[in-house]
Structure 1
Amino acid sequence: MLTLPAAPLGPDNPLPALRTPGPAHALGPEELAALPRDMARGIGRAPLRSLLPAPVRDGYGRDRREASLDALVLENDRLRVTVLPGLGGRIHSLHHKPTGRELVYRNPVFQPAAFALNGAWFSGGVEWNTGATGHTTLSCAPLHAATVPAPDGTPMLRLWEWERLRDLPFQVDLWLPEGSDFLLVGVRIRNPHERPAPVYWWSNTAVPERRRVLAPADTAWHHGYERGLRKVPVPAGEDGTDRSRPEHSTHAGDWFYDLPDGGRRWIAALDEDGTGLVQTSTDRLRGRKLFVWGTGPGGRRWQEWLTAPGTEGYAEIQAGLARTQLEHLELAPESELSWLEAYGPLAADPAAALGPDWAAARAEAERALDLALPRGAVDAAHAAWREGAADTDPEPAAVLAAGSGWGALDVLRAGHVLPGTPFPETTLGAEQEPWRDLLRTGALPPPAKGAVPFPPQTAPAWRDMLETAPADPSTEYHLGIAQWHAGDRAQAVRSWERGLAGAAVRWPLLYCLAVADREEGHPERAAHRFAEACAELAGAVDGPAAVTAAAALTREAVDAQLAVGRTGRARALWEALPGEVRARGAFRLLEVRLLLAEHRPAEARAVFDAGFEVPDLREGAEVLGDLWSRTGAEPLPAAYEFRMRP
């Protein structure tokens, strides 16, 4: 177990994630035309239409208390690795015993924030990002974990799960050969379907900010919060500033290094004595990236928000399948991708590695890496891991942690054979039970009385089954969600309208129709339906879920009323919430918006002065600064300074 101050995750949002993800990484036609053709093709490949079927995870707060987190430890005589199987398989610590050094940035707290595609994410260590551009929906979710024998016979920790955005299983194997200073990580993504699938992967390592970051490249693709993607020289950018040192950047930004073909893939973060962490891999893992928060007030505030005041800042060094995180590759039907990564200490001559000659610095780091872990050794370790049935797919010897039951449900449906990563029926739970009933009987059961709707399924095979199931209101609700996700919005609306006509519990269908109206450019009708859904929800859900559902629905409903100038209706909806909900930071923010819409700037300013925090404030959000400026006050207090753009 790992004990540290932690904010509880809280309940998931019960509303289906119908909204199209925001355009944080979108590029315009002119920008795409200026890029290499294969890069532009990868950026345009299979963009997400929604976050379905993943749930939105926004139930966390910022009240941290000492808590115990499940932890697994992998250890040899050189390294001790601490892994959090219940939180995406995150490596929390990578401790080098001979030097007593922590090789990664180890966050002293567990504080969720709204950085994952579906919400809850936390900073620090090494995370495994798959699915689509951004932090994975599994950031704060449990993975399956077990021990299996490594190629050299030592114990290997296997993590695996079924990623639902792209409907693909993946595994991460971690092992420490005896006497080795390097953690070896084998990754495999499978496509068991008869159709191609978009695939995405970035391994994301947090390192202390006061480091020099080296990678074997002379140019990089720069992406900042002012958007756009352009090629720049490294380490000295267009303004001559040495961007290999994170503390030299004022604003947040990404540098995707343009590694030449044929060269070794690696990235390192070195201290002032020339020592630090290096990550290297087989050639399949093509991309390398540096992310910095910047030294501006917004970047510093985000660092405090994600860690704890007074702690050391961090940067991120990352490795991915494509050149940039905006791209996706295509995985052929019934095929797989695999590669091997290695993480360990690097000791380079500081005079060269930290000096002004970039070519000499890179050469020194690569020389030190070749001595510590030759390129051929990485390739050989990958071959040993993948070659031969005994090494490829050893069955787990001891199960250490359980993930979700979604993989078991799909294996049950399609009969997928996935040696080495079992998804047994014993992992099926209450969330999967209605869908297993659909498999058994051809009919989807209604939700329990007083409960919120059970989680959706949106993959084509499940949509096909819903289309042939008896058309009761619950089935029409879920069919409409699957159709919406597939891009057939008109048919989704027809399904929800059919369900509404005979529904005893109307609020879930009204919510879906309200979102459809908003997304399709009918804000007045959307506002009316959101308000009607709130009225129908009252008394329809029992227990703690009633408060969770009311908070989630009312938050969107108030926003919809304000969008069309229905200030009185927005006020009534907000005031109908329990006092405990209205006291939350997100609803204090709604109160500020209400007061400004009512032309009461002094009272809006008083809410700011009293102080509030919005736990699920999105990365890059500027709403606090915008609302503060409308109160007529300047400057923005540091507590509300989250702006990231120049």
Structure 2
Amino acid sequence: MKTTVRRDVLTLPAAAPGPENPLPPLLPLRNVHTLDERAKEGLPRDMARQLGYAPLSSPLPTRVRDAYGRERTDTAVDVIVVENDKLRATVLPGYGGRVHSLLHKPTGRELLYRNPVLQPAAFALNGAWTSGGIEWNIGATGHTTLSCAPVHAARVPAPDGGEMLRLWEWERLRDVPFQVDLWLPEDSDFLHVGVRVRNPHEKPVPVYWWSNVAVPDDRRVLVPADEAWHFGYTGTLRKVPVPVYDGADRTYPRNSEYPADQFYDVPDGARRWMAALDDAGHGLVQTSTDLPRGRKLFVWGTGAGGRRWQEWLTEPGTGGYAEIQSGLARTQLEHVRLDAEAEFSWLESYGPLSASADRVHGEWAGARDEVAARLADALPREAVDAAYEAWLPSADTEPGETLATGSGWGALEVLRAGHKVPGTPFAESTLGPDQAPWLELLHTGAVPEPRKVVPPGPTLVAPHWRDMLETAPARPLAEYHLGVAQWHAGDRAQAVRSWERGLELAPSRWPLLRCLAVADRAEGNTERAADRYAEAFDDLCQERRDDGPVWTVATAALGREAITALLAAHRTEAARAVWDRLHEATRAEGRFRLLEAQLLYAEGDMEGVRAVFDSGFEAADLREGAETLGELWTAATGEPVPERYDFRMRPAEG
């Protein structure tokens, strides 16, 4: 059969990602991938430089997705299928363009770990993320903010005259457009993926890219390297030998007890590839042109916390998985400079590989050589380079039939600056309500005041939008947005002044009070933060117009922050008063059951804390590396943490 690109529908048990949190994320959600400064000593110079280059200060301008739950229902999910005689790739355009499945048709083997459910969890830079398949991580250290967001998709003529699937979006953390072209030549066993990241601006931008491939964890992971940089959840980066260190062969994911990253030190000039092969020597191989120098293995480990996380992301009985990844830098703690009006482009290839099982599972040098030889037979290095050269002229080809639609943010940027981005059109038809106020600011120089009482919309924080906000009429909503943009730029004192100016005339005070409360907490002013949070929540409760989804989400988000701040100030009665004013359905959610247990603990009611745990709850947006559940259980009961509440990702201290 000729290669085809078609739309289809796949029914999966899914928990919806939920509405966006209306409170601007002024601070990062987590810091589990930060590196102790002392650990940077002795690192290669370019690595040390890139480790300190443009770290993310918050997920702005994106909003947090944390209102999802754990209840899954059979859901019809739009997919795009790219297929020939040998492979069938199933893509989820509504989930960042993730490749959900890569099936080798002659053998019937699924080459990826295919998650049987869609269950959001708090791993993305802005919250909701799902596991499995191949995801395209762009932006900054961590999982992309597009994990549970739609991207644009369309048919494009392939280099060989067939069809190709193009995915593209405007990445908002770094303000750059990117594209992913999935090309499956006729009769080919390999899916080619052309990737391009462009910087349309007059200044350099930091870029981050890791293609993340989930594979079953009963494989051996092979890569052309004898050393790796090991990063655990204790904030250290150290060089280790491959395959054996600390008494175990770590190329087998199940030989590690705790979650960890291994960033392989592939020698310069060596072919870039990585494979995960089973007991019989069968599995997946990924290779690329030379630009993506990084190769990584992530393991969950066999400890209680790692097993619990895997159950959390899928469902019991579906088997564990590991991640093999390919990126632009040696490690995921680095960002790479992309010069003004320049681009990065490369080609990746994914396909089946079969090798001698005895050699694959034998001594390391022989295993590596065997896989390299079989890869050379199946897809020579020269063939990958030739496919890249063949794809490059197609990268600018204008898409044909639209298969899926992403956001309107790219269209807004193209309108603002007149960017020329051939091959990735951002049509004005994609502009929507979120972009409307910014379109008016662009055309009139003023931020429109809302026509009805609603929570503020998203804030744009890039320098060009901040400049426009600074010259806009100083009305309350403009001051609110300006303060958020100034805060993001690092000018916290000026942000506070903008919010305070807006507060003087604002008919809706709670958004400004909440921002000021965050600023107080960041400065260590716990008492004033508590005062402002209490005032903000009271103002919201008086202002909200109904119990519809918009106000329910806003009340839940602000109430949660207010209770946490009030507990930090040891004001339990005030925290209880906020709790009592939350919607009953909100208080029944798992994440608020955890908050209730924390409130009961602060009130000294240990029996009440235990009763909450004994009733069973699941805090859906529990964050990677979080130890809150176990710490609270131990503090309240003095007993070992039950398995269902054990999410530890590192050894116990001491």
State the distance in 1 between where 2:235 and 2:408 align. Answer: 38
CA-to-aligned-CA distance 1:388-407 (integer Å, 9 cap, x gap):
xxx23111111111000000
The aligned counterpart of 2:277 is 270
Select 2:494's aligned residue among 491, 495, 502.
491
Deviation (angstroms), 1:192: 0.1
SS at match of 1:198: strand
Select 1:380's aligned residue among 376, 379, 386.
386
Alpha carbons 1:182, 1:342 under 8 Å: kept: yes
Deviation (angstroms), 1:510: 0.4
Q: How does 1:218-237 map to 2 (within 5 A)?
A: 218-237=226-245
State the distance in 1 between where 2:631 and 2:29 align. Answer: 22
Select 2:354's aligned residue among 347, 359, 363.
347
Alpha carbons 2:32, 2:624 under 8 Å: kept: no
Deviation (angstroms), 1:320: 0.2
The aligned counterpart of 2:367 is 361
CA-to-aligned-CA distance 1:282-302 (integer Å, 9 cap, x gap):
000110000000001111000
Alpha carbons 1:447, 1:454 under 8 Å: kept: no
State the distance in 2 between where 1:430 and 1:103 align. Answer: 41
CA-to-aligned-CA distance 1:335-372 (integer Å, 9 cap, x gap):
000000000000111111111x1000000000000000
The aligned counterpart of 1:138 is 146
Q: Structure 2 length normalisation: TM-score?
A: 0.97
Alpha carbons 2:540, 2:555 under 8 Å: kept: yes
Select 2:395's aligned residue among 357, 375, 392.
392
The aligned counterpart of 1:76 is 84
SS at match of 2:95: coil
Alpha carbons 1:408, 1:423 under 8 Å: kept: yes
The aligned counterpart of 2:330 is 323
Select 1:458's aligned residue among 457, 461, 465.
461
Deviation (angstroms), 1:28: 2.5
CA-to-aligned-CA distance 1:524-561 (integer Å, 9 cap, x gap):
10010001000010142333211110100010000001
Q: Structure 1 length normalisation: TM-score?
A: 0.98
- Amino acid aligned to 1:145: A
- Amino acid aligned to 1:297: A
Deviation (angstroms), 1:633: 4.0
The aligned counterpart of 1:554 is 559
Indicate whether 1:261 and 2:268 are aligned.
yes
Q: How does 1:123-522 map to 2 (within 5 A)?
A: 123-237=131-245, 239-355=246-362, 357-387=363-393, 391-522=394-525
Deviation (angstroms), 1:59: 1.2
Select 2:543's aligned residue among 535, 540, 543.
540
- Amino acid aligned to 1:348: A
CA-to-aligned-CA distance 1:615-634 (integer Å, 9 cap, x gap):
00001110101000112242
State the distance in 2 between where 1:110 and 1:329 align. Answer: 32
- Amino acid aligned to 2:557: A
The aligned counterpart of 2:604 is 599
State the distance in 2 between where 1:314 and 1:227 align. Answer: 23
State the distance in 1 between where 2:631 and 2:137 align. Answer: 32
Alpha carbons 1:21, 1:48 under 8 Å: kept: no
- Amino acid aligned to 1:260: P
Alpha carbons 2:200, 2:341 under 8 Å: kept: yes
CA-to-aligned-CA distance 1:433-476 (integer Å, 9 cap, x gap):
11001111111112341211011100000000011111100000
State the distance in 1 between where 2:643 and 2:30 align. Answer: 26
State the distance in 1 between where 2:508 and 2:640 align. Answer: 48
SS at match of 2:496: helix
The aligned counterpart of 1:580 is 585
Alpha carbons 2:30, 2:623 under 8 Å: kept: no
The aligned counterpart of 1:631 is 636
Gaps of 5+ in 2: 1-8
State the distance in 2 between where 1:392 and 1:235 align. Answer: 39
Deviation (angstroms), 1:21: 4.3
The aligned counterpart of 2:111 is 103
SS at match of 2:147: coil
State the distance in 2 between where 1:636 and 1:428 align. Answer: 49
CA-to-aligned-CA distance 1:125-183 (integer Å, 9 cap, x gap):
00000000000000000000001011111100000000100001000000100110000
Alpha carbons 1:202, 1:321 under 8 Å: kept: yes
SS at match of 1:86: helix
Select 1:50's aligned residue among 55, 58, 67.
58
Cα RMSD for the two superposed structures: 0.8
- Amino acid aligned to 2:330: R
CA-to-aligned-CA distance 1:165-223 (integer Å, 9 cap, x gap):
00010000001001100000000000000010000000000001100000000000000
State the distance in 1 between where 2:550 and 2:573 align. Answer: 27
SS at match of 2:276: strand
The aligned counterpart of 2:576 is 571
State the distance in 2 between where 1:85 and 1:591 align. Answer: 37
SS at match of 1:631: helix
Gaps of 5+ in 1: none
CA-to-aligned-CA distance 1:219-247 (integer Å, 9 cap, x gap):
0000011220000001101x220001011
State the distance in 1 between where 2:560 and 2:258 align. Answer: 31
Alpha carbons 1:76, 1:179 under 8 Å: kept: yes
State the distance in 1 between where 2:549 and 2:380 align. Answer: 56
Alpha carbons 1:452, 1:541 under 8 Å: kept: no
State the distance in 1 between where 2:215 and 2:450 align. Answer: 46
Label 1:232 to 1:600 Cα distance change in 2 as closer, same or farther (>3 A).
same
Deviation (angstroms), 1:480: 0.5
State the distance in 2 between where 1:209 and 1:319 align. Answer: 17
The aligned counterpart of 2:37 is 29
How many residue pairs were aligned?
641
State the distance in 2 between where 1:92 and 1:22 align. Answer: 27
- Amino acid aligned to 1:250: E
SS at match of 1:42: helix
- Amino acid aligned to 1:294: G
Deviation (angstroms), 1:48: 1.1
